[in-house]
């Protein structure tokens, strides 16, 4: 079974800016080994 991870916008920003100290260390491995990673745009859309 493939693993799909959906990240909140702020988690994605922390991940791509390599601010790994802002979330639990095991999250990085889960994100990096997932088959697909999606981003929840709802929080970003709420601020528009």
The answer as to whether 47 is a domain residue is no
What's the number of domains the chain is made of? 1
The answer as to whether 28 is a domain residue is yes
| Beta partners for residue 7, in sequence order | 39
Q: 21: domain range? A: 4-42
43: left (phi over 0), alpha (psi -120 to 50) or beta: alpha
**The predicted structure's pLDDT at residue 44:** 56
**The predicted structure's pLDDT at residue 46:** 60
**The predicted structure's pLDDT at residue 10:** 87
**The predicted structure's pLDDT at residue 22:** 94
Residues in the chain: 48
**The predicted structure's pLDDT at residue 47:** 58
**The predicted structure's pLDDT at residue 36:** 95
pLDDT in tens, 1-48: 678 999 988 899 999 999 999 999 899 999 999 999 999 876 555 655
The answer as to whether 13 is a domain residue is yes
Q: Hey, what are 38's tokens?
A: 């999606």
Give 40's DSSP letter: -
- What CA–CA distance (Å, rounded) separates 45 from 23? 23
């Amino acid at each position: 079974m493939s693993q799909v991870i959906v990240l909140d916008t702020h988690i994605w920003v922390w991940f791509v800016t390599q601010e790994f100290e802002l979330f639990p260390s095991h999250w990085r491995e889960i994100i990096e080994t997932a088959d697909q990673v999606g981003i929840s745009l709802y929080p970003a859309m709420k601020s528009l």
